[in-house]
Amino acid sequence: MNYQPPFPGELKVFSGRANPELAEKICRELGICLGKINIEDFSDGEIGLKYEDNLRGRDIFIVQPTNPPAENIIELLIMIDAASRASAKRITAVIPYYGYARQDRKAEGRVPISAKLMANLITAAGAKRVLLMDLHSGQIPGFFDETRVDHLYAKPVFMEHLKGLLPKNLVIVAPDMGAGNLARSYGKRFKCGMVIINKERPKPNKAEVFKVVGEVQNKNVLMVDDMIDTGGTLVAGIQAVKKKGAKEIFVACTHAVLSGDAVEKIISSPISGVFITDTIYLPPKKRVPRIEIISVAPLLAKAIKAIHENDSVSKLFI
């Protein structure tokens, strides 16, 4: 007897243009072909698309990180809307990198809570579920009022890759207080100590280091965080621990935004190696030897399979 999944609709995975490489890898892990969709830009800059496959009654997964440019989020919303109007049975937005996650609260007057707005738009477009990874803020799943959220962590992927790769006499460093819990969990798995860098950000994308809390002298360092954007926080933290006598310094960050001159900052810093994932497509010009990309496609494929079969996603956590 042929195996029949609990979900009645056929599993179909489609990709926007933000990261088709990742979508292709996910489909290879699932043993299926990437769904066919035609996406184009009109002469005025608007986005048009058409699904080439039949979606009626299907279980649809749309892979699209929403890093800049803003067209990526617009493209995701249009893809969800088109799938809904094509009578898809269920639509899951697979968003490896959730853009605007850092605008998650009203820290001062007259500013938006853009992370909540993005959640409202995705829900309004017709997504029934969202699959996210390493959110910048833990409260973001609560921003989705009517859409179910599965939140994955890249830590298992990093742990598997780094096992036996890092030097001994290791200490885990959190570049700020926000990464403290992440660093603590790495410390438990590697059975080593943890250090926190106390910093203040005087304005967006500018970090000022104040104090290294913990011992790093004559130790090898693994600095962990959810993302690298301009590289300012990263480099400031590296300089701080280097001044305190750290030896080799490695970095593990899930989302490689790498805006501005971030790559140049990494090249000119005393970093031995930077480990990132492919949640965001990294263009060839930014793929320098010191940066190593680890794919999260196997983890996302397992999560997609679990969602499709109405199985537990939490079993993928460690």
Active site residues: 199
Q: Which letter does DSSP use for residue 35 in this model?
A: P
In angstroms, the CA 313 to CA 306 distance is 6
Residue 250 main-chain phi, psi, to 5 deg: -120, 155
Element (H, E) at 13: strand 11-15
What does the block give as tokens for 97? 């990198």
- Bridge partners of residue 196, in order along the sequence: 174, 213
The encoded tokens of residue 37 equal: 């969709």
Burial of 209 (0-12, 13-18, 19+ CB in 10 A): buried
Distance from C-alpha of 207 to C-alpha of 225, rounded to nearest angstrom: 14
Q: Tell me the backbone φ, ψ of residue 95, rounded to 5 degrees.
A: -115, 90
> Across-strand partners of 199?
209
The residue among 176, 225, 227 whose CA lies nearest residue 201 is 176
